[in-house]
């Protein structure tokens, strides 16, 4: 069996090498079995019938229409935590450059033409900025990145307040005891000297930092946004800088409104741009894709449930379907009517969608497969 993988964006060769024999890597494939992508938007893309999966080599999946994919039985993966350390390190740098006027200072030093050493000592007073030790950091979103930055900030001597209404048990276990729980955003807004955003961008989080939020914050607060531009209302943060409410806004998401504005430091989406994180993300994306193509097992999907079973029997069929009653009953009946015996089976659900893996003792007939495909709510049937 040979599979074609289409790659969008620069995906680390170390990760792509995981595919190995039997895989064709083609940037221009018209009918790929799988896509590997970083930040390229797939919202306007028409997906071919051949496409079985999309793997986001990274965390945020707002560039992928995950519900549309689910309806077509296309499994979407991401790579949880694979670039978290890279973002944590940039977040620490962002806090420091938001405080110490390092960027303005470097630009100024480079603009000097003569008597440089003397001019530096005379002019440096304009670039004084506060230390972060002893200050209050508000972390919004305590997932893979939020936990790392919270713990690092505690170690740097900051007081850390964390807010996450959906925190996972694993994330809670990973948090330093020094991190205090904020019961709501208001607490973060009212108490933090620095606020850093580490939640996903979606309809609920869009514009979380808006004029009403800035009004509740301390004067001179510093805002770090390495998550997604849309979480902060550009006009409102610019107005808050103008009024002195916000001292500095560091964002990894420059746009025409934000570049070259006083008080705004724009970084060209470098959060995950380290060799280590590019390798980690690509390796994880490749491994998950390979696993899915070769076994139908799903690991780290964002639109279907995770579902894994060791291969057994003579033939495996997988069914991606809507999460509706009696689906397993209808599938089993179609198989039983064709005198097909199930050796092992697993069915998991997640929200509106579910996934079933069945290992058969004998090969499925075309008729039985056609019957399963025809069941209302079945989105994709694969024979492996
Ligand atoms: N600048 C860059 O290059 C990168 C940016 N990112 C961005 O950072 C985001 C977070 O990444 P990870 O920590 O890896 O994801 P994650 O999924 O591990 O953590 C996200 C956390 O946000 C929480 N959350 C969801 N809605 C929330 C809300 N309304 N308020 C507070 N918390 C909420 C979730 O419960 C979860 O704990 C990604 O979605 C992505 O947009 C991630 C990696 C690189
Ligand atoms: O691939 C990249 O450089 C961006 C990473 C990112 O934004 C993410 O993982 O959400």
Whole-number pLDDT of residue 190: 98
At 9 the pLDDT is 86
Q: What is the pLDDT of residue 353?
A: 98
Of 58, 79, 84, 144, the residue with max ligand 2 atoms within 8 A of its CB, to mutate for a pocket test, comes to 58
Just list the catalytic residues. 228, 256, 269
pLDDT of residue 99: 97
Domains and CATH numbers, the chain: 1-83+275-302 (3.40.50.720), 84-266 (3.40.50.720), 304-384 (3.30.70.260)
Q: How much is the CA Rg of the chain, to the nearest whole Å?
A: 25
The pLDDT tens digits of the residues spanning 261-317 come to: 999 999 999 999 999 999 999 999 999 999 999 999 999 999 999 999 999 999 999
Q: For ligand 2, which residues put their CB under 6 angstroms from it? A: 38-39, 58-60, 83, 271-273
Q: Whose CA is nearest to atom 43 of ligand 1?
A: 59
In whole angstroms, give the CA distance from residue 247 to residue 249.
7
pLDDT for residue 1: 80
**Which parts of the chain sit beneath pLDDT 70?**
none
Question: Cα–Cα distance between 241 and 220 in angstroms, integer?
Answer: 9
Looking at residue 362, its pLDDT comes to: 93
**Is the separation of the CB atoms in 205 and 199 below 8 Å?**
yes
């Amino acid at each position: 069996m040979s599979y074609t993988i289409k790659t969008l964006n620069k995906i680390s060769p170390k990760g792509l090498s995981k595919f190995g024999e039997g895989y064709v890597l083609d940037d221009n494939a018209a009918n790929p079995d799988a896509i590997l992508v970083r930040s390229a938007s797939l919202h306007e893309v028409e997906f071919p019938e051949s496409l079985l999966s999309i793997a986001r080599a990274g965390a945020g999946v707002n560039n992928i229409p995950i519900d549309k994919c689910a309806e077509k039985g296309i499994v979407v993966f991401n790579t949880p935590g694979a670039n978290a350390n890279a973002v944590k390190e940039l977040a620490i740098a962002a806090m420091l450059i938001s405080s110490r006027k390092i960027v303005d200072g470097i630009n100024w030093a480079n603009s000097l033409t003569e008597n440089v050493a003397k001019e530096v000592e005379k002019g440096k007073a304009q670039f004084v900025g506060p230390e972060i030790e002893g200050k209050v950091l508000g972390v919004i979103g305590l997932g893979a990145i939020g936990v790392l930055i919270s713990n690092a900030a505690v170690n740097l001597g900051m007081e850390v307040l964390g807010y996450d209404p959906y925190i996972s048990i694993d994330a809670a276990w990973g948090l330093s005891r020094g991190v205090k729980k904020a019961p709501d955003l208001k607490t973060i807004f009212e108490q933090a000297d620095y606020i850093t955003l580490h939640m996903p961008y979606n309809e609920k989080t869009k514009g979380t930092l808006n004029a009403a939020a800035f009004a509740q914050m301390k004067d001179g607060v510093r805002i770090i946004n390495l998550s997604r531009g849309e979480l902060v209302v550009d006009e409102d943060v610019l107005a808050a800088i103008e009024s002195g409410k916000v001292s500095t806004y560091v964002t990894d998401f420059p746009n025409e409104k934000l570049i070259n504005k006083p008080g705004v430091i724009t970084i060209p989406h470098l959060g995950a741009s380290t060799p280590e994180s590019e390798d980690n993300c690509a390796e994880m994306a490749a491994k998950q894709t390979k696993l899915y193509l070769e076994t139908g097992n799903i690991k780290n999907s964002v639109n279907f449930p995770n579902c894994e079973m060791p291969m057994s029997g003579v033939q495996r069929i997988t069914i991606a379907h809507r999460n509706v009653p009696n689906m397993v009953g209808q599938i089993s009946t179609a198989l039983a009517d064709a005198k097909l015996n199930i050796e092992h089976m697993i069915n998991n659900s997640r929200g509106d969608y579910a996934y079933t893996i069945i290992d058969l003792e004998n090969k499925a007939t075309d008729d039985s497969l056609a019957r399963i495909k025809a069941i209302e709510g079945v989105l994709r049937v694969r024979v492996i």
